[in-house]
Amino acid sequence: MSEFVRLEVADGIGTIRLERPPMNALNTQVQEELRAAAQAASGDEQVRAVVVYGGEKVFAAGADITEFTTVSYQEMVSRSAALSSAFDAVAKIPKPVVAAITGYALGGGCELALACDWRVVAEDAKLGQPEIKLGIIPGAGGTQRLARLVGPARAKDLIFSGRMVDSEEALRIGLADRVAPAAEVYATAVELVRAYTTGPALALRAAKQAIDGGLSVDLANGLALESHLFAALFATDDRVEGTTAFVEKRKPKFTGR
């Protein structure tokens, strides 16, 4: 049983819930429990979409800095790879994933949000990558995912300065996808992904793989990946149902197979 991270499943939506009061600091144990929850959500056929949620007060205020005060370079060489791969496990969940952000999403918390497909942000939330103020840089995907999301110039502004952005700025620069009152953030996130719980699961998986995979290769290889995934979907029941329903002018009933 996990102590700080749990996966709850209801109506096709899996909620990965962080529960390490008061600020959901992301220590090594939380990191590994997060990896386990992401892997469980990936493998559970009952989970068709995922919400990552830190609770009503805070998403995650970053790494547990007490772990950084005495760690050596040699120790961090091995630990940094494990930290990055734990967040990558969230990014690789082959289903639609949304972060429901209340309070703060700072440092590792912001990097966790960046690993999701979308971010629903509370009106009074603050996001940022303040690692520079500790004499370090983001180490769990922040320099890479943030730059891809908001562009290199804006990413450099946020990472070089370590400043926090509010929900209005986050929405304007593309760091947030929707803004809602804090009490409505989780419900808004659920509604954002609810439609995908009855969608063609294998096509959604392929679409996410094509988009994310294509971002890391050149156009020619991205197009080749897309063609391969496109052709593979012609072996699915949902392709038969979707095309038949279109011809018959009715709503398709996808099974995820």
Catalytic status, residue 108 = yes
pLDDT value at position 1?
64
Which amino acid is located at 240 in the chain? V
pLDDT value at position 69?
81
Catalytic status, residue 191 = no
pLDDT (tens, 9 = 90+) of the chain, 257 residues, equals 689 999 999 999 999 999 999 999 999 999 999 999 999 999 999 999 999 999 999 999 887 787 778 888 888 887 888 888 999 999 999 999 999 999 999 999 999 999 999 999 999 999 999 999 999 999 999 999 999 999 999 999 999 999 999 999 999 999 999 999 999 999 999 999 999 999 999 999 999 999 999 999 999 999 999 999 999 999 999 999 999 999 999 999 999 99
- Strands 104-106, 97-101: pairing is unpaired
- From 12, 131, 140, 201, the catalytic residue: 131
**85 three-state secondary structure:** helix
Catalytic status, residue 63 = yes
pLDDT value at position 142?
96
Judge contact between 171 and 123, C-beta under 8 A: no
- From 61, 63, 176, 180, the catalytic residue: 63
Judge contact between 217 and 225, C-beta under 8 A: yes
Q: Considering the entire predicted model, what is its pTM?
A: 0.94
- From 33, 37, 105, 111, the catalytic residue: 111
Nearest to 108 by CA among 77, 148, 139, 70: 139
pLDDT value at position 72?
84
The sign one gets for the Cα dihedral 233, 237, 241, 247 is: positive
Report how far residue 143's alpha carbon sits from residue 87's, in angstroms, rounded to the nearest whole number.
13
Could you give the C-alpha distances from 158 to 18, 78, 101, 150, 169, in angstroms and in order? 25, 27, 18, 10, 12
Catalytic status, residue 12 = no
Judge contact between 130 and 109, C-beta under 8 A: no
- Report the C-alpha dihedral over residues 176, 180, 184, 188, rounded to 10 degrees: -50
- From 108, 109, 141, 199, the catalytic residue: 108
Nearest to 203 by CA among 238, 228, 167, 158: 238
